[in-house]
Chain A
């Protein structure tokens, strides 16, 4: 069964089409990554799943229910921008958010204690929110979305702005949730996190679904035309070779997208001098993202829209 099922969902704001004819199935127990540039429709999609916005057309089923409002009590939700009452104590706030979803104190308190301890916040339980650091507040916000022991958790940008240690503890928490059988949907701008954490990836661009599938499916669709090289002279030295469409310069190495044959390029490089590293790789999610959402594509899309 699907935890979330969107069937040809469209949402307009005035003349602007925020989400266009979107269909999506999120299988239960999976970790699903939502990616896409700012303003492409991620948050609108999430808000429709949360029944904060209603679609203009199409059907949404969440946790097997057509009335997504009824499902809401089984969904944990972490909105994109953090919302915590500054003057409230941590435990009070977590209780309040849980009670708004119809739980009582007795069922909430053990969960609150368990997660505060797991994320190293136990001593902060009776402190006010505005005494917490940003990272701690973000962890509290995360806990607030799961105190109800939800079956589905929707996290909008859960890792943004966190230091590596805090980010790792939240990633561990997400994996722990999956072990417990919880479906996790999260949106992110961090492609490497999406690559490592997600079972499936969904990309929305200008309201349209442009990617949907496992990482392998997505990568194979974009071919094996990527080569990672390391040569003396770096990106500048590569400019004179033919068959290179674009160079993504990481300084110590360069990712090349080829229109020609990788073997031919290797021969040419060897002829030219010392090759320190040469690897035919799959395009990274980052590359795929940029390829879809780069400015040239944007122009093309605009033209397509005009001609349509």
Chain B
């Protein structure tokens, strides 16, 4: 047993001392902040163009409202450096001169030569519904650009409705007042307090319901990947530089495997603890003590243990079957896919944590640690029997995978040359 710890200690120190680990710890929050910051910036600043569009207004009554609304819109988006959105500039075109087709052809050519961005055609009977009442037609060379047609739809509809009400003798201001929308605010459930009174329900917030599950999910991902990836690289390096032979000449392959798994498990726990410490600090600073749930931490570390052992075994077995990093890279792809599955599923799970999809996924052992953790972090949380069942399944799977990896490891670690195919690997397990 001592030698298992010798290996574990060495593996732990090797991983923790790498620059990658330190940079990973420090850079991760920085990178995440940068990513979020960039998205916010991009959302506001990507589209600061001036979108000029021509309006053929057959009805003759809508254009003025469009022009006024555009002016207001442009003022709202600011000017120069402070501009946060596109400016819309309509211009009126009369189809009186030539035929309508010639005018549209002429406008299309102007769009092609970038003189205009788009043009629209408003039918004559749009207000009273007579004649060709149909749709406002929007012509553009860039159909993927939606802000302009969306804006036109909103503004035109508001104006058309206003005119229709006015024409019917109804005060539009009254309509606006009567149509005012009522918000729905979301609350948690009501409890009976210790003193017998009925407590007040807390308003739900995005941090507790959406941020927390994802925080746990990402932390799990990061902790697992740091360890698993290191194991794969380390084992391939040991094979390539023929260290493995020295090692298995001194210690049983299975003990070696256990030592390595133990080492990276410790690293994963350390990594997660560092982030939790940061998280708890943030919670204490912001006074949001309701977010501090010790039961979640306990579940997290249980699932983290299983996840590291499962993925660690898989990556170790893969690594021991490869002779060089190129082999390893191609062998890794299916394993990466396996680890991506919970990530891809997470968005569906967070929308409906009690759906049969979410329940089913959280019982698939390689997915459980991630998805079950998410569900646990989301109110109301999964039923206890599901949690216990998933823990059982994960423990059994983990034990099996560690065992199977030990069998593959024993043979693979001394193999040189061609990477084995799946049937060969299965033979190693049974042998």
Contacts and interface: CB of A to CB of B under 8 A. Distances in A.
Interface in B79-94: none
Contacts of B2: 102
Contact of A85 (B243, B248, B251, B252): B243
A99 interface: yes
Given A79-B242, A83-B242, A99-B6, A52 B250 contact: no
B416 to A, nearest CB: 9
Nearest to A154: B249
Interface string A174-208: 00000000000000000000000000000000000
Contacts of A47: 245, 414
Contact of A84 (B3, B243, B244, B249): B243
B426 interface: no
B102 interface: no
A72 B250 contact: yes
B246 A77 contact: yes
Contact of A79 (B7, B245, B251, B252): B245
A80 B414 CA distance: 13
A79 B3 contact: no
Interface string B245-267: 11111111000000000000000
Main secondary structure of the interface of A (DSSP, over half): loop
Given A96-B10, A100-B6, A100-B250, A52 B245 contact: yes
B14 A87 contact: yes
5 tightest Cβ-Cβ pairs between the two chains A and B = A83-B243, A81-B242, A100-B250, A83-B242, A79-B245
A218 interface: no
B245 A84 contact: no
A50 B245 CA distance: 10
Nearest to A49: B249
29 contacts: A47-B245, A50-B249, A52-B248, A53-B414, A72-B249, A73-B250, A75-B249, A77-B249, A77-B250, A79-B242, A79-B245, A79-B246, A80-B242, A82-B241, A83-B238, A83-B241, A83-B246, A83-B247, A84-B241, A85-B14, A87-B14, A88-B14, A99-B3, A100-B3, A100-B6, A100-B247, A100-B250, A100-B251, A144-B246
Interface residues of A, number: 27
B242 A102 contact: no
A4 to B, nearest CB: 15
Given A87-B14, A100-B3, 9 more contacts: A53-B414, A69-B252, A72-B250, A83-B243, A85-B14, A88-B14, A97-B250, A102-B2, A102-B3
Interface in B219-241: 238, 241
Interface size class of B (residues with CB under 8 A): 20 to 34
A52 B242 contact: no
Contacts of A84: 241, 243
Contacts of B243: 83-85
A129 B165 CA distance: 86
Nearest to B246: A83
Contacts of B244: 83
Nearest to B244: A83
Contacts of A65: none
A101 B6 CA distance: 10
A96 B7 CA distance: 8
A110 to B, nearest CB: 19
Contacts of A127: none
Interface in A83-120: 83-88, 96-97, 99-102
Contacts of A99: 3, 6
Contacts of B248: 52
Main secondary structure of the interface of B (DSSP, over half): helix
B13 to A, nearest CB: 9
Interface in A128-183: 144
Contacts of A73: 250
Interface in A264-282: none
Interface string A55-81: 000000000000001001101010111
Contacts of A83: 238, 241-247
A67 B10 CA distance: 28
Contacts of B245: 47, 52, 79, 81, 83
A101 B14 contact: no
A195 to B, nearest CB: 28
A87 B19 CA distance: 12
Nearest to B259: A100
Contacts of B7: 100
Contacts of A79: 242, 245-246, 249
Contacts of A82: 241-242
B250 A101 contact: yes
A99 B238 CA distance: 18
A87 B252 CA distance: 24
Nearest to B3: A100
Contacts of A72: 249-250
A180 to B, nearest CB: 21
Interface string B1-15: 011001100100010
A96 B238 CA distance: 14
B39 to A, nearest CB: 38
Contacts of A53: 414
A79 B252 CA distance: 17
A86 B14 CA distance: 11
Nearest to A46: B249
Contacts of B10: 96
A84 B6 CA distance: 17
Nearest to B250: A100
A65 B273 CA distance: 47
A63 to B, nearest CB: 15
Contacts of B3: 99-100, 102
A81 B250 CA distance: 16
Nearest to B247: A100
B253 to A, nearest CB: 9
Interface in A21-50: 47, 50
A81 B248 CA distance: 14
A279 to B, nearest CB: 43
Nearest to B2: A102
A103 B238 CA distance: 22
A159 to B, nearest CB: 17
A50 B247 CA distance: 11
Nearest to B414: A52
B374 to A, nearest CB: 37
B391 to A, nearest CB: 34
Contacts of A102: 2-3
